[in-house]
Amino acid sequence: MIITAEHSLLPSIPWGLTRATAPLPRAEASYDHVTLDPATQTTAFRDRAAGIVDMAKSKVTVTTSKGGGSDGSSGSSNVADDSNTDS
């Protein structure tokens, strides 16, 4: 393949990225760690003292901020867990 001079003059920042917000404020983590109940296989969100954190109001943000968001395949990352245009 011949690399042309014109090709090498392309801007390096894609236009779409210039439309991104400034880094979003980091939401203070509402939990410290997650534990799996071996009997039920549900997970519980806990604070530093191992107390249960009620995640009722965080049913989306937890997975956009701390995990998930991908199908495990190498080509499908960078996705907010639930999204409109970001998925």
Which residues contact other proteins by CB under 8 A? 10-24, 26, 34, 36, 38-43, 55, 57-60, 62-63, 65-74, 76-87
Is residue 71 within 8 A of residue 81, CB to CB? The reply is no
What is the CB neighbour count within 10 angstroms for residue 83? 11
Residue closer to other proteins (CB basis): 24 or 49 = 24
CB 49 → other proteins: shortest distance, Å? 19
What's phi and psi for 34, nearest 5 deg? -120, 135
CB 3 → other proteins: shortest distance, Å? 15
Which residues have CB under 8 Å from 78's CB, separation 6+? 69, 70
Residue closer to other proteins (CB basis): 49 or 57 = 57
